[in-house]
With several copies, the nearest count.
Chain A
Amino acid sequence: MSMALKATTLKPATLKPIVEALLLAADRPLALEEMKSVFDPAQRPGNGELREALASLAADCEQRGVELKEVASGFRLQIRAEHAGRVNRLWQEKPPRYSRALLETLALIAYRQPATRGDIEQVRGVAVSSAIIRTLVDREWIRVSGHRETPGRPELFVTTRQFLDHFNLGSLADLPPLGEIAETPEAIEAPETPKAVLNISDQFLVPFFEDVQIDDLSWKDHQF
Chain B
Amino acid sequence: MSGADLQATNPQETSPARPAGSGNASLAATAQVAGAVVELPSDLYIPPNALAVCLDTFEGPLDLLLYLVRRRNIDILEIDVAEITDQYVAYIELMQASQFELAAEYMVMAATLAEIKSRILLPRPEPEEAGEEADPRSELVRQLLEYERYKLAAEQLDELPRIDRELRQALAGLPDRRYERPQPAVQLSDLLEALAAALRQAELFEHHHVRGESISTEDKISHLLANLDRERFLPLVAMFDAREGRLGVVVTFLAVMELMRKALVEIVQPDGFGPIHLRLAGPGESA
Contacts and interface: CB of A to CB of B under 8 A. Distances in A.
A and B touch in the complex (CB under 8 A): yes
Interface of A: 21, 23-25, 27-29, 66, 69, 76-81, 83-84, 87-88, 91, 95-98, 100-101, 103-104, 106-108, 110-111, 123-127, 130-131, 134, 139, 165-169, 175-176, 178-179, 181-182, 184-190, 193, 196-205, 208-215, 217, 219-224
A200 B203 contact: yes
Contacts of B120: none
Given A126-B60, A182-B149, A184-B75, A103 B191 contact: yes
Interface of B: 3, 6-7, 9-12, 27, 30-31, 34, 40, 44, 46, 50, 53-54, 57, 59-63, 66-67, 69-76, 86-87, 90-91, 93-94, 103, 105, 109, 143, 145-158, 160-176, 178-179, 181-186, 188-203, 205-206, 208
A107 B194 contact: yes
Contacts of B59: 100-101, 104, 124, 126
Most buried by B among A78, A165, A186: A78
Nearest to A186: B189
A205 B40 CA distance: 13
A126 B105 contact: yes
A97 B184 contact: yes
Interface core residue of A104, A124, A167, A221 (most chain B CB under 10 Å):
A104
Nearest to A76: B173
A212 B276 CA distance: 41
B30 A201 contact: yes
B150 A214 contact: no
A189 B154 contact: no
A100 B174 contact: no
Contacts of A100: 59, 151, 154, 194, 197
Given A103-B194, A200-B203, A125 B109 contact: yes
Given A87-B179, A104-B59, A184-B192, A95 B153 contact: no
Most A CB contacts (10 A, CB to CB) among B194, B195, B206 go to B195
Contact of B94 (A110, A131, A165, A200): A200
A215 B10 contact: yes
A131 B164 contact: yes
A79 B147 contact: no
Contacts of A103: 154-155, 157-158, 186, 190-191, 193-194
A200 B184 CA distance: 29
Nearest to B185: A95
Nearest to B53: A214
A23 to B, nearest CB: 8
A138 B90 CA distance: 39
A75 to B, nearest CB: 10
A222 to B, nearest CB: 8
B94 to A, nearest CB: 7
Contact of A204 (B9, B183, B202): B202
Contact of B193 (A25, A97, A178, A189): A189
Given A95-B182, A139-B183, A200-B94, A213 B147 contact: no
